[in-house]
Amino acid sequence: MSDVLPDGVERRQFDGTERLATRGEPVYGEPIDGEWRAWNPNRSKLGAMFDLEMDTGLEGGETVLYLGAASGTTVSHVADFAGPTYAVEFAPRPARDLLEAAETRPRLFPLLKDARKPETYAHVVESDVDVIVQDVATRGQARVALENAQFLADDGRLLLAVKARSEDVTRDPAAVFEDVQAALEDGYEILETQRLEAYHTDHLGIVARPR
């Protein structure tokens, strides 16, 4: 498996340990080396997907719709190497931290919206985005991906981190993952899946493209 990283993401040494890194102002106390900031895959599902060498299709400079931006830990890294990055977060408290992360990132656009209701931000987000990154802790994660597919370019990518315990805490995660993948097939072709257990318990990384 090849190490496919977008432009603007590198593997660099921090205190003798090789880490993913992007250029930008620090956000959450991460180690820095000059203008580079370490990207912790234990705090980022997308970072875990990169560290596990999943082929995300990201090359750098893409327009991104990020669903479930929380306080900006991961989406700040995305905005370091991507183009316009729309960051959707529903909870007001983490959204305040997200706004702070955006202050030094002119390409990062925080939206205090619910990813389950894309009609509430359809007037803001441009059509034909290159990538949807989804990391939401809710039931119906496949439905969120399907309803937001309206923003995705025909040759775009969905990078989805499925949280099994958010779907159903009582079921076996493998069964949950199967159900989510089956539901996604209503609108997506799944290109790659990989368990993120090395970094995130009961999570599955999915790369897909619209049908």
- The ranges assigned to domains in the chain are 41-210
Is residue 115 a known part of a binding site? yes
> pTM here?
0.96
Is residue 90 a known part of a binding site? yes
CB 170: neighbour CB atoms within 10 A? 6
pLDDT confidence band for 2 (50 / 70 / 90): very low
Condensed to tens digits (0 to 9), the pLDDT of residues 107-149 reads: 999 999 999 999 999 999 988 999 999 999 999 999 999 999 9
d(CA 108, CA 66): 10
Is residue 138 a known part of a binding site? yes
Per-residue pLDDT at 127: 86
Own/partner pairs, 169-177, CB within 8 angstroms, 24+ separation = 173/202, 173/204, 177/204
CB-based contacts of 34, cutoff 8 Å, min separation 6: none
d(CA 73, CA 116): 21
Asked if pLDDT for residue 1 goes beyond 50, the answer is: no
Is residue 135 a known part of a binding site? yes
For residue 6, CA distances in Å to 22, 59, 122 come to 10, 4, 27
The superfamily (CATH) of domain 41-210 is Vaccinia Virus protein VP39 (3.40.50.150)
Is residue 89 a known part of a binding site? yes
What average pLDDT does the segment 192-199 reach? 98
Is residue 59 a known part of a binding site? no
Is residue 170 a known part of a binding site? no
